[in-house]
Amino acid sequence: MADEDLLPSVRQLVSKVKPTIHAAKNVSEAEELLLHLEETDENFHRYELVKYLRNKISTDLGSVIDSEIEKRTLENRGKGGGEEELIRTITDVVVNSIGYSSLTQSLKHKTKDAVDRLLETFDEDVDNQRKVYEGRQSPKKTAFPFSDDSSSFESSFNQPDFDFPNQEKFQRLAQNLENDQPIELRRDAVMQLCHIPPSDVLACDQWTHLKKGLQDALADSDDQLSDKSLQFHARMFSTNSHMVTREVYSNLVDHLTTLFQSRKCKAAFPIGDGLNAADPYVQRILRKFRLMNEFQREVPSYWVRFPEKFLDDVIECTLSLLSIHSIGAISSNETMTPLHYFALLDPKASWFRKWMHGNYSRTAVLRILEKHRILVDTCVKFLMDFVSTRKSGSDSMTDLTDTMRRSKIGEEKRKIFTSKELEYLYFVHCLSIIGVVTLYANGRQFFPVKQRDKEVTITDLLVSLIHLLPHGGTELATRAAVFDPGNLVTDVLKCVSASQAVCSECMKNKVIMELISPLRMYMKGRKCKESTLLHIADILSVLASSQCGRQMLLYGESKERIKHNKLAAVHTIAEFAKKSISKSLPSQCGPAPSRAVVGAYVFICRQIYSNCEGLHVLYPYGLHSYIADAWREASRETERAPTPRPDSDSDTSSQSGKQEAIDAFAWEQTLRDNLLNFAGTPKGLLMLQQTGAMNECVEYMYVRYANKLQVSKHEKFGYGTMVTQIAATAPGMVALHSTGFIKALLAELWSVLECGPDERRIIRPTAIPVDPIDKSAHKSLMSLVNVLSAYPAVYEVIANQPLANKESYSFREVPDTITGIIERLIMVDSPGKVHSLFNVEQSHVFGLRILSVMCCCLDSFLLLETQYKIQDMLLQSQQQNRRGQDEGRDDFIIDMPSVERNHVLVRTYIVGGPSERILPPRTLNDQDDPYPWPLFSQFPVPKQYTPQLIRPSAMKQENELTKFLSASKNDEVNSLWLDKCKKAFCSLLTRKADLGTGKVLVDMLDRVLSALLKIPDESIFPLKDYIGSDSQLKGHKLPALQIMGIKMAVRYGQHLKILHNVSESTEKLTMLIKQSTQYLKQQQRKTDSEIRFLQQDYMGHDWFASTLFLMMSGNREKSWNFLHKFSTLIASGYLWLPRFHNSMQLPPQLTVSGIHPVFSTTGHNIELLLQIEVPLVYSAFKMSGYTCSQICQNWLRQCFWNYFDWQDICHYVCVCILMGSDYQVYTCVAIFKHLQQSLLLHAQHKDLQVFLTERPIQGFHVGNYLEYMQQLEQKYRYLVLTDMKCITKP
């Protein structure tokens, strides 16, 4: 604002708020409207007076405000909260400062002067407006001065007054603009053109001549004429017409093109002389390029509305100009080119980034750039030469970049630019352009670029740029410098690494090896700057966040995943991280790396080990132990740190101690965060538990989860999956419960279903639910399902926990335990419980849904039933829901709770696969009978829910397996026989699976077991003799849970028509369970653990023993003989879960962890193979916050009871014993592949957990997927089976 004259600004403000003032009814209302003008006027911040005031505040008070913010922030660091108080304190200080007082006095004086002058000219202004309306003269507006008059680097857009001349006047103006006319006449002609609407100028017949005259004026040596012509071009840009915009832009570009193509071009002076921006001629050139650059940055926001011809013309003329005098090497004879001027005004090529941002313009830019590829060649050649001249390190850029950082380009103080600075700005501009070009497929087609006698590929370019990383600042603070070469190269490489497509083409192994070479040198004793290490860590972190980048780090360019590659980059990174955190780097490198460096590389490892594939590679490094040791050391340091005192603020030593305490706490939190991320995988969770830091890490996770924070800066999802993974184990549930996570989860659930705490403000009443599970409660349902799906976790929170069963409950009494939820929402069996619920029906249905999901795990159901008699409660509720005692099904009241109870009763009573039981639906239909399924209030369930099964034929049917067994009856069972048996069995399952039942499979298993006992790799456990007798067994009492499980198994066998005498079968199965329990107890060690699940015998039913009992047709002796011998095989630990409970055969640290190998090993390998083989399903689990290892643990625990039909259960057992225990993993992967479409659909509906838990596995048969499993065996057996067998190693 010239001379700070506020009159034009005040006049503009008054004219703009005139409608607002007129709308007011009185003066006081007008004042009120003006006081709130910022809230009501969207253009408020565009007014020149507002801009002026904001600029004055920033100039006069900016330093005071910044110093106060920095001071108060340091004082309040670590205290948390108090943001409003902080702002109020800073405001008070600024308002009471001397600078604020002088500023207000100055503004008052200048504003009063402007208002006085406005009042003096008021009559004149009114008269002028009156004359305008009468048509006597054109309106007169006060225009703001042309901004370029004050600076070559400021804005150029303006808006003048207009008049409307005729064609004769245009002809006269064109003549006056000719070169041979007097200079005054030419100036006047340009001035008159500035007052004519742009569209009229372009539409006149003389535009061609005018354009030529305006070009001549731009090139004229007279400063005033050149500036007025540039001002005309600037004002022409303000029009909305694409025709005018294109013409004026092309005219400006044509002028610059002619200027640089001229032999006597003064603008193309030698770079070695430097640039003096104060020189008038240079100023004019800079103004022209500034105007052009401003247009380039603005036009992408609206050129999509213009014809494609406009886009093509603008891009064509621009690239043509930039291609002039293109250079390819650094020499002393270089001259300034258009690209140099652009680099000076827009170093980071923001104009080009905007042009390449949208597909509409990017397509055109790359197409036209093909004709001007010399521009790309020039940039690439210059980058290569620039790097080559600085490889030696003698030409350090630190001083140069620090200078560029301290002095912003475009400031009035900065007028002189040295040749080195011009060259560096040119490098920055070229790097920015090429960095954007390489991000797109058509852009990468410009490579390779020919340079002298070789071709430069993208890989070569990136390798060369990496050499600039050590040229960055020597201190960490310089990393934030805008022009730091290390920072610039890091940004380019991060953009390249972030995209899957670009990364796969550009980040080759050569690039990554060059990138991590400083790490290798460091470990060999050669010191490296910390800024360089941090730059490398930034790039590697982005690389590790994408699937493609992770593969490059793990395996290099090898396409074989899981194969160990010693030369892969991840090994160097892991080794450096391990040595850094353990402070075991070579002593000749000086002090150990800072915590920032160590944390950065541990974070990269964490990105890799947070998934199964990465953990498989990093497992040998034992990073969890090193991080845990460092965390404990940091925790001790935090505890020793002095407590800050209020009276020590001015003490320098106290301030230093306070900062050290803050740094120590931040470091401790960082290490705890890295430890926590081991919980992202089943095996990683076991490793976390073995460090002893489970509770502390879960506590940290709870704080971040409650604040809805992301897992990391590169992680798209929250902690949902990690919570589910942790909740799948007994120690994980103990940690969740002790840290308050479960309590917070239940409080949130209760606030959704019923009511929140007393202090929660109710803004509006909640809507009355329509669906059984309202949308608002769906998330809480899924969260609760996630933490209650695994039996070991359920056992920890409800075992031996009685229900309160109080006579009355207050409305605000929120349950804070799982048993409290069971009591209040599921066991709603008393008037007190009913009266305590605001939404009885909806809340009870919610509880029944939770019960239904929990009961899908048969062990969880048995625990609930034995402790709380849930079936009796449900039957009693159904009985109370009858209208009378008349016979028939219509005597039951059909409502949401009765339908849900009916579903749960059928589900918990009948055992069977997809075709062996019928589960009633939860919904009503629109027919005459809305619910045709019979309700009942006592067992057994109605016949409608138990389909009639065909009894297995007693006749022996010939097939390949029976033929093989008969033919080899007298043969020795060994490895060769085993291979032949596998072929016969596979042939049977793939061709005639229905024939693989009954005695045939039992005979095969007996002989297969004899063969496996002779193979040392399979029979790895010693065969212990059973010590005991039947009389002792009869005196041994089984837990109620086991007894109920036996009854359920016998009922299933009777339903399958395998068992006939119920009492006899019950007694035999009871004796078998007792005998196997006592036998396994002989091989168990006592553990002193807080985990309830480990404090006694295996507290779940032995589903594998029950399965074998049914396969052996209820023959106890045969079943026991098989189990006894089978206990020596490695497969026994994975099929027969009680086998590894507190087992002496396992390492002590694994036993006391409370995590079963079926979860930590089988579940881990299932996730690993799923990530590779069925990535869409793996992603669906990730997005759903659920884990495949959790549902697989449930399936495998109960031998697929209720999920497979009996025939497929038998086939599953036989396959895992005959083909190998790793087929347990392949079976689960095959199931997920079979269910892929359904899983993706339910992931979209956000009920994946409920679908997998409640639904049987429809349409899956082991025989149909046996070929696929064999393919998995060929690809992964060396990994999976080896991992499963290594379970006995410490």
Q: What is the pLDDT of residues 1232-1261, one digit of tens each?
A: 999 999 999 999 999 999 999 999 999 999
Give the model confidence (pLDDT) of 1049-1064 as tens digits: 999 999 999 999 999 9
For the chain, give the percent of residues with pLDDT over 90.
51
353/675 Cα distance (integer angstroms): 40
Mean pLDDT of 673-688: 94
pLDDT of residue 316: 95
**What average pLDDT does the structure give for the chain?**
85
1167/311 Cα distance (integer angstroms): 50
pLDDT band at 397 (very low <50, low <70, confident <90, very high): low
Q: Which residues of 726-748 are buried (b: 16+ CB within 10 A; e: fewer)?
A: bbbbbbbbbbbbebbbbbebbbb
Give the model confidence (pLDDT) of 279-327 as tens digits: 888 989 999 999 999 999 999 998 888 899 999 999 999 999 999 865 4
Q: Tell me which of 504 and 266 has the higher pLDDT.
A: 504
pLDDT band at 3 (very low <50, low <70, confident <90, very high): very low
823/840 Cα distance (integer angstroms): 13
From 432-441, 709-718, 927-936, the region with the lowest mean pLDDT: 709-718
Q: Are 162 and 138 contacting, i.e. CB atoms less than 8 angstroms apart?
A: yes
pLDDT of residue 1111: 94
From 382-396, 954-968, 1160-1174, the region with the lowest mean pLDDT: 382-396
Residue 395 in this model has a pLDDT that exceeds 50 = no
Could you give the 3-state DSSP secondary structure of residue 463?
helix
DSSP 826: I
Mean pLDDT of 495-501: 91
pLDDT of residue 1045: 96
pLDDT of residue 1076: 94
Query: SS3 for 1155-1197, per residue?
Result: CCHHHHHHHHHHHHHHHHHCHHHHHHHHHHCCCHHHHHHHHHH
pLDDT of residue 148: 38
1105/1138 Cα distance (integer angstroms): 10
Q: Tell me which of 958 and 355 has the higher pLDDT.
A: 355
pLDDT band at 135 (very low <50, low <70, confident <90, very high): very low
Residue 40 in this model has a pLDDT that exceeds 90 = no
C-alpha distances in Å from residue 140, one per residue of 17, 135, 143, 160, 665:
19, 13, 9, 10, 67
pLDDT of residue 564: 82
Tell me the two tokens of residue 368: 């036209």
Residue 140 in this model has a pLDDT that exceeds 70 = no
Helix 207-219 / helix 242-261 crossing angle, nearest 10 deg: 40
C-alpha distances in Å from residue 805, one per residue of 754, 861, 872, 909:
19, 20, 16, 26
603/676 Cα distance (integer angstroms): 12
Give the model confidence (pLDDT) of 970-992 as tens digits: 888 888 999 999 999 999 999 88
pLDDT of residue 868: 94
Q: Are 388 and 464 contacting, i.e. CB atoms less than 8 angstroms apart?
A: yes
Q: Give 417's contacts (C-beta < 8 A, 6+ positions apart).
A: 274, 275, 277, 344, 425
Give the model confidence (pLDDT) of 446-479 as tens digits: 999 988 778 999 999 999 999 999 876 644 444 3
From 605-614, 703-712, 812-821, the region with the lowest mean pLDDT: 703-712
Mean pLDDT of 38-49: 76
pTM for this structure? 0.81
- Closest residue by Cα to residue 1087 from 737, 730, 628: 730
Residue 954 in this model has a pLDDT that exceeds 70 = no
For the chain, give the percent of residues with pLDDT over 70.
88
Mean pLDDT of 475-486: 60
Give the model confidence (pLDDT) of 252-291 as tens digits: 999 999 988 887 777 788 888 888 888 888 989 999 999 9
Residue 77 in this model has a pLDDT that exceeds 60 = no
Give the model confidence (pLDDT) of 357-390 as tens digits: 999 999 999 999 999 999 999 999 999 999 988 7
- The DSSP-derived string for 1084-1140 is B-----S-GGGSSS--S--HHHHHHHHHTTT-HHHHHHHHHHHTTBTTHHHHSGGGG
Residue 414 in this model has a pLDDT that exceeds 90 = no
Q: Tell me which of 1174 and 237 has the higher pLDDT.
A: 1174
> Cis peptide leading into 448, omega within 30 of 0?
yes
Tell me the two tokens of residue 300: 């992408």
At residue 701's C-alpha, the angle toward residues 700 and 707, to 5°, is: 100
pLDDT band at 206 (very low <50, low <70, confident <90, very high): confident
**End-to-end CA gap in the chain:** 78
Q: Give 1057's contacts (C-beta < 8 A, 6+ positions apart).
A: 949, 951, 952
Mean pLDDT of 481-486: 79
Tell me the two tokens of residue 342: 């652009």
Q: Are 519 and 512 contacting, i.e. CB atoms less than 8 angstroms apart?
A: no
pLDDT band at 149 (very low <50, low <70, confident <90, very high): very low
Q: Give 995's contacts (C-beta < 8 A, 6+ positions apart).
A: 957, 959, 961, 988
Q: Tell me which of 146 and 1110 has the higher pLDDT.
A: 1110
